[in-house]
Amino acid sequence: MMLLQDRYELARSVAREAGLRALEMFRRRDELVIESKGLQDMVSAADQDTEAFIRQQVLARFAADGFLGEEGGLDRGDADFLWVIDPIDGTACFVNGMHAWCLSIGVLCQGRPVIGVVYDPNSDEMFHAAQGQGAFANAKRLQVHSAARVSEGVLGVGFSHRVPVDAFVPFLGRVLADGGMFIRNGSGALMLAYVAAGRLIGYYEPHINAWDCLAAIVLLQEAGGVVNDFLADGGLQHGNPIIAAGPALYPQLLALIAPESCSPPLQSNKLPALF
């Protein structure tokens, strides 16, 4: 148990420290070097600096742990504990002066997500969870929304040009036709954390990378949510769809998504204990 708890405490402390460093760079963003990694995909010196700082802090405590980071790739992927890091999720928002960005730190133990921290430095709000311990926003315990229909709240959605536009737009039409509404704020990790907090009723993105969602998967499971099996079929390295909602809404959300884009559900209360 201490193996998990020590890493949980470190994940929270390093997320806060790294987040405050990133916030200072956000306030001086006009000085940053910005590069393009592809269509609507940017990276800044803040991303690179923040990820390097997190790795350095973790290795100082747990030298044998592995890493998967958006900027640094996979290192020691066969380690018992693997840290999955997005130093700034929502870089486009970050570099354009919008507050919809965050840090995401997830930890896997022997391939299973067990720790999740999503930190929003602009609001000083830390969403955090560890397997079997519940999910929290700072000190407030989280619970997913009780909605059973998309018409009962606001749905979060995400999209990238890694998938065809016509594979996604019909889903939005079906949501609207059922009386639903949706938002996209530019940070999948933050919107998934909002689902765990009950602020959004669910979230769908046809392709998302592991560093954008693994931390939030732990949050969702610990907050009573249902999430598709994101890690199936190489999701850790290649990404997958992400579908998340409360248990009452999840079946309807699946029905609004083309069946071939769905993965089997994975509920937190069915996860085996690891410690």
Please write the tens of the pLDDT for every residue from 90-118. 988 998 899 999 999 999 999 999 999 99
Residue 86, annotated as binding a ligand: yes
Q: Is 244 exposed, middle or buried (0-12, 13-18, 19+ CB in 10 A)?
A: buried
**Is 205 found in the same domain as 258?**
yes
**Is 64 found in the same domain as 11?**
yes
**Is 245 found in the same domain as 171?**
yes
Q: What is the mean pLDDT of the chain?
A: 89
**Is 33 found in the same domain as 130?**
yes
**Is 155 found in the same domain as 100?**
no
Q: Of the candidates 141, 167, 198, which is a domain's last residue?
A: 141
**Is 69 found in the same domain as 27?**
yes
259 alpha carbon, distance to own chain's centre: 23
Q: What is the DSSP string of 208-274?
A: E-HHHHHHHHHHHHHTT-EEE-TTGGGHHHH-EEEEEE-TTTHHHHHHHS-GGG---EEEGGGSPP-
DSSP letter at 142?
P
Assigned domain for 175 exists: yes
9 SS3 class: helix
Assigned domain for 97 exists: yes
Assigned domain for 275 exists: no
For residue 272, is pLDDT > 80? no
Q: Are strands 112-120 and 102-109 parallel, antiparallel or unpaired?
A: antiparallel
Residue span of the structural domain in which 38 resides: 2-141
For residue 261, is pLDDT > 50? no
In a 13 Å sphere around the CA of 12, the CA atoms on its Cβ side amount to: 18
Distances (CA, A) of 104 to 2, 14, 84: 22, 11, 8
The 10 Å Cβ neighbour count of residue 63 is 8
**Is 244 found in the same domain as 116?**
no
At 1-10, the pLDDT tens digits run 568 999 999 9
Return the CATH number at 191. Answer: 3.40.190.80
The C-alpha atoms of residue 112 and residue 272 are separated, in whole angstroms, by 10
Return the CATH number at 104. Answer: 3.30.540.10
**Is 243 found in the same domain as 223?**
yes
**Is 134 found in the same domain as 7?**
yes
Assigned domain for 182 exists: yes
**Is 128 found in the same domain as 16?**
yes
Residue 88, annotated as binding a ligand: yes
The C-alpha atoms of residue 19 and residue 258 are separated, in whole angstroms, by 37
Which position has the token pair 């009452």? 248
Assigned domain for 136 exists: yes
What's the angle, vertex CA 162, arms to CA 228 and CA 261, rounded to 5?
Answer: 30
The C-alpha atoms of residue 265 and residue 261 are separated, in whole angstroms, by 13
pLDDT of 31? 75
Residue 222, annotated as binding a ligand: no
The C-alpha atoms of residue 48 and residue 218 are separated, in whole angstroms, by 25
Residue 31, annotated as binding a ligand: no
At 29-61, the pLDDT tens digits run 887 766 554 444 445 678 888 999 999 999 999
Assigned domain for 162 exists: yes
What is the pTM (predicted TM-score) of this model?
0.90
Assigned domain for 93 exists: yes
**Is 79 found in the same domain as 190?**
no
**Is 215 found in the same domain as 137?**
no
pLDDT of 47? 83
Range of weakest confidence among 73-77, 87-91, 263-267: 263-267
Residue 257, annotated as binding a ligand: no
Q: Of the candidates 141, 159, 194, which is a domain's last residue?
A: 141
Assigned domain for 163 exists: yes
Q: Of the candidates 141, 168, 201, which is a domain's last residue?
A: 141
Of residues 164 and 190, more confidently modeled: 190
Total tally of structural domains belonging to the chain? 2
| Order of all β-strands in the sheet with 81-89 | 73-75, 66-69, 81-89, 102-109, 112-120, 125-130, 135-137, 140-141
At 188-213, the pLDDT tens digits run 999 999 999 999 999 999 999 999 99
